[in-house]
Amino acid sequence: MVGCGKMGSALLGQWAKGPESITVVDPGQESVPGGARLVSDRAEIEGECFDCIVVAVKPQMIDDIMPAYAANLAPGGYVLSIAAGYSAGRLSQAMNGAPVVRVMPNLPAAIGQGVSGIYPAEGATAAHTAHVQDFMARAGTTVTVASEDELDRVTAVAGSGPGYVFEIARAYALAAMEQGFTEEQAREMVLGTIGGAIAMASEPGALSLEDLRNSVTSKGGTTAAGLAALNGDDGLTDRLRATLQAAYDRAVELR
Ligand SMILES: NC(=O)C1=CN([C@@H]2O[C@H](COP(=O)(O)OP(=O)(O)OC[C@H]3O[C@@H](n4cnc5c(N)ncnc54)[C@H](O)[C@@H]3O)[C@@H](O)[C@H]2O)C=CC1
Ligand SMILES: O=C(O)[C@@H]1CCC=N1
């Protein structure tokens, strides 16, 4: 694994429970989860070959960092990239034509509740894809997509998604504090409410999201008043539409 920051270590925490022996190269880390081997420079693995090389550095750094690792890929091996946007074709070219599978995980992978998109690019074999699917299933649910463009849309929806959710929760808690609650009370109530509502919506056979919303909303009651302020003019819907589009557009820029 090349790079083991926030997302890399979230995945490694799950992967390290498996039987594989994993080596991490990261000059910025003093330790990594699960007892994986950590080195700070590629020179320390000169001459060693790996069945899978995971790209977990920032997309903007790939051109500088990854070409040297082409020499570390075992015959029949492949490259698994979690970088946002950066295309499989460009990565393969940078790594001497190596097969590439792109993955877009999200941060709740750290607790085994991630949502990951998987895109096996040209050159990736069925065995490579099966290996990635197994690896990513250890970190949560997976969806395998048929086009790279779709993966960039998964990035906008799910990859960046926890960021939107944390921001919504932060704003919701701030509003709760303005109703007179302490920070701790606001956090507990807001996360409890979001968590409970999501758990209920995730039950097998749950109602549609619209029906669930309606089941909270008494005619002429408090929820109706709150919802009118929240999205009566479709402002929230429009804002979320713009949010996903902006994230997708950025992924396209990073290709
Ligand atoms: N943070 C997230 O929620 C998600 C991130 N990603 C992708 O994961 C990748 C990493 O993102 P984060 O973990 O958020 O960033 P990060 O900044 O936390 O991690 C990047 C790591 O790369 C290391 N690094 C820098 N130079 C290096 C070098 N020469 N060799 C090896 N390692 C080096 C840094 O020390 C750092 O630990 C990005 O490509 C991003 O698009 C994908 C999905 C979600
Ligand atoms: O913000 C980013 O670019 C990365 C990719 C998805 C989540 N974090």
CB-defined site of ligand 1, < 6 Å? 2-8, 25-29, 56-59, 61, 65, 82-84, 104-107, 159
For residue 118, give Cα distances in angstroms to 27, 178, 249: 28, 42, 19
Nearest CA, atom 4, ligand 1: 7
For residue 35, the model assigns a pLDDT of 85
- Among the candidates 154, 174, 190, a domain finishes at 154
List the residue whose alpha carbon is closest to atom 5 of ligand 2. Answer: 84
pLDDT of 122: 86
The answer on 250 and 195 residing in a single domain is yes
Close Cβ partners of 66 (under 8 Å, ≥ 6 residues apart): 2, 55, 57, 91, 94, 95
Q: Are residues 169 and 148 in the same domain?
A: no
Tens digit of pLDDT for each residue in 176-195?
Answer: 999 999 999 999 999 999 99
DSSP for the chain reads -B--SHHHHHHHHHHTTSS---EEE-TT-S--GGG-EEESSGGGGTT--EEEEEE-S-GGGHHHHGGGGGGGEEEEEEEEE--SS--HHHHHHHTTT--EEEEE--GGGGGT-EEEEEEE-TT--HHHHHHHHHHHHTTEEEEE-SSHHHHHHHIIIIISHHHHHHHHHHHHHHHHHHTT--HHHHHHHHHHHHHHHHHHHTSTTPPPHHHHHHHH--TTSHHHHHHHHHHTTSHHHHHHHHHHHHHHHHHHHH-
ipTM > 0.95, yes or no: yes
Last residue of a domain, one of 137, 154, 171: 154
Token duo for residue 176: 């709760």
The residue whose C-alpha atom lies closest to atom 8 belonging to ligand 2 is 160
Query: Within this chain, do residues 131 and 229 fall inside the same structural domain, yes or no?
Result: no
- Assigned domain for 219 exists: yes
Judge contact between 98 and 77, C-beta under 8 A.
Answer: yes
Q: Indicate whether residue 14 lines ligand 2 (CB < 6 A).
A: no
Q: pTM score, two decimals?
A: 0.96
Is the residue at 51 inside a domain? yes
Domain that holds residue 185: 161-254
Tens digit of pLDDT at every position of the chain (255 positions): 999 999 999 999 999 999 999 999 999 999 999 989 999 999 999 999 999 999 999 999 999 999 999 999 999 999 999 999 999 999 999 999 999 999 999 999 999 999 999 999 989 999 999 999 999 999 999 999 999 999 999 999 999 999 999 999 999 999 999 999 999 999 999 999 999 999 999 999 999 999 999 999 999 999 999 999 999 999 999 999 999 999 999 999 999
**16 and 72, same structural domain?**
yes
pLDDT of residue 80: 98
Interval between CA 242 and ligand 1 midpoint (Å): 26
The tokens for 242 are 């713009």
Beta bridge partners of 50: 73
